[in-house]
Amino acid sequence: MQRTSFGSSNFSTTQISNLQSIASQCALSGGESVLIARDMLALTQEAQFFYNDDILCSTSPRPSERSVGIANALGKTIAVFPNPANNEVTIKYELNNNTGSLIEFFNINGHLEKQVSLVGAKGTVSMITSNLAPGIYTYSLDGVASGSVIITH
pLDDT by residue (tens digit) across 103-133?
999 888 888 999 999 888 888 999 999 999 9
Residues 6+ apart with CB under 8 A from 65: 58, 81, 82
Handedness of CA 132, 138, 139, 140 (dihedral sign): negative
Q: Give strand pairing partners of 92.
A: 79, 124
pLDDT band, very low/low/confident/very high, at 99 (cuts 50, 70, 90): confident
Claim: this prediction has a pTM higher than 0.75: no
Domain range holding 116?
A: 3-151
pLDDT at 27 over 50: yes
Amino acid identity for residue 40 in this structure: M
Number of domains in the chain: 1
Q: In Å, what is the CA distance from 7 to each residue of 3, 4, 36, 38, 44?
A: 13, 10, 16, 16, 10
Give the DSSP per-residue string, the chain. --EEEETTEEEEHHHHHHHHHHHTS-HHHHTHHHHHHHHHHHHH-SS-EEE-HHHHT---SSGGG--EEEEETTS-EEEEESSSBSSEEEEEEE-SSSS-EEEEEE-TTS-EEEEEEE-SSEEEEEEE-TTSPSEEEEEEETTTEEEEEEE--
Q: What is the CATH number of the domain that holds 113?
A: 2.60.40.3080
Res 36: pLDDT: 84
Handedness of CA 118, 105, 46, 69 (dihedral sign): positive
CB count within 10 Å of CB 37 equals 20
Res 96: pLDDT: 78
